[in-house]
């Protein structure tokens, strides 16, 4: 099989553009030094992930994924400074509904702080806070993590492992994509 992308689906919303990149092979982009692959990844694995907890994840993306039979992972946080604005960001009940609909709810820190700017105790506090929110809404403790801003740091792996995380996703711009994250 070709290792090139098999398809690219683009979902546009009024406020944000999401690129859902369906890769036929996961080894698609330069791997950041902190992305250590400790276990083999199955061939042709496809993972759809969505970051930042924007409201269109609940109103547009999740219904589309359900319609076409896809799973997905939503890396949520309380994105500053407008998390309270529910025209922009999901409420926790909406995040809970993603879990109840069978999607994975995962950690993107509580306040979208870049891990290379945090001490290990600060990073742990961010993880603890989002896990506490999940517990409040009866969402299982996250076991996967996405690095805000794609910034990584070697000590973050130690903290994540100690906290019981199985997988952490960074990111990079691939030749066929626009800038990987577009905030408002
Ligand atoms: Zn983010």
Question: Could you tell me which of 178, 184, 131, 167 has the C-alpha nearest to residue 38?
Answer: 167
Domains of the chain: 47-169 (3.20.20.370)
Angle of helix 120-136 relative to helix 154-162, nearest 10 degrees, comes to 40
How many angstroms does the Cα of residue 69 sit away from the middle of ligand 1? 25
Q: Does 103 score more than 50 pLDDT? A: yes
Residue among 69, 61, 66 nearest 12 (CA): 61
Q: How far is the CA of 138 from the centre of ligand 1 (A)?
A: 23
pLDDT at 145: 96
8-52 pLDDT, tens digit each: 333 333 223 333 333 333 333 344 444 555 667 778 888 899 999
Q: How far is the CA of 149 from the centre of ligand 1 (A)?
A: 6
Ranges 13-27, 83-97, 164-178, most confident: 83-97
> What is this structure's pTM?
0.75
SS3 track for the chain? CCCCEEEEEEEECCCCEEEEEEECCCCCCCCCCCCCCCCCCCCCCCCCEEECCECHHHHHHHHHHHHHCCCCEEEECCCCCCCCCCCCECCHHHHHHHHHCCCEEEECCCCCCCHHHCCHHHHHHHHHHHHHHHHHCCCCCCCEEECHHHCCCHHHHHHHHHCCCCEEECCCCCCCCCCCCCCC
Residue 79 Cα to ligand 1 midpoint, Å, equals 8
**pLDDT at residue number 54:** 97
34 or 136, higher pLDDT: 136
Give the lowest-confidence range in 28-32, 67-71, 80-84, 116-120.
28-32
Residue 36: predicted pLDDT: 57
Q: Which residues contact 176 (CB under 8 A, 6 or more apart)?
A: 5, 8
For the ranges 13-27, 40-54, 117-131, 162-176, the maximum mean pLDDT occurs at 117-131
Confidence grade of residue 178 (pLDDT, cut at 50, 70, 90): low
From ligand 1's centre to the CA of 148, what distance in Å? 4
**126-147 mean pLDDT:** 97
CA distance 56 to 90: 8
Q: Look at residue 170 in the predicted model and tell me its pLDDT.
A: 86
How many whole angstroms from 173 Cα to the centroid of ligand 1?
Answer: 14
- Report the separation in Å between the CA atom of 1 and the middle of ligand 1, taken as the mean of its atom positions: 32
Tokens 């879990």 — which residue? 99
Q: Tell me the pLDDT of the chain averaged across its residues.
A: 80
Mean pLDDT, residues 48-64 taken together: 97
């Amino acid at each position: 099989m070709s290792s090139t992308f098999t398809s690219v689906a683009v979902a546009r919303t009024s406020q944000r553009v999401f690129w859902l990149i369906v890769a036929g092979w996961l080894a698609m982009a330069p791997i950041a030094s902190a992305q250590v692959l400790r276990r083999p990844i199955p061939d042709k694995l496809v993972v759809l992930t969505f970051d930042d907890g924007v409201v269109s994840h609940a109103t547009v993306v999740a219904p589309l994924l359900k319609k076409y039979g896809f799973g997905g992972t939503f890396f949520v946080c309380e994105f500053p400074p407008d998390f309270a604005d529910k025209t922009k960001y999901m409420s926790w009940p909406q995040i809970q509904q993603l879990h109840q609909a069978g999607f994975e709810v995962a950690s993107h820190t509580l306040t979208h702080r870049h891990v290379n700017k945090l001490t290990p105790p600060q990073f742990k506090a961010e993880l603890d806070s989002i896990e506490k929110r999940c517990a409040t809404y009866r969402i299982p403790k996250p076991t996967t993590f996405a690095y805000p801003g794609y910034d990584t740091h070697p000590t973050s792996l130690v903290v994540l492992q100690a906290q019981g995380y199985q997988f952490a996703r960074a990111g990079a711009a691939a030749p066929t994509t626009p800038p990987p994250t577009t905030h408002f």
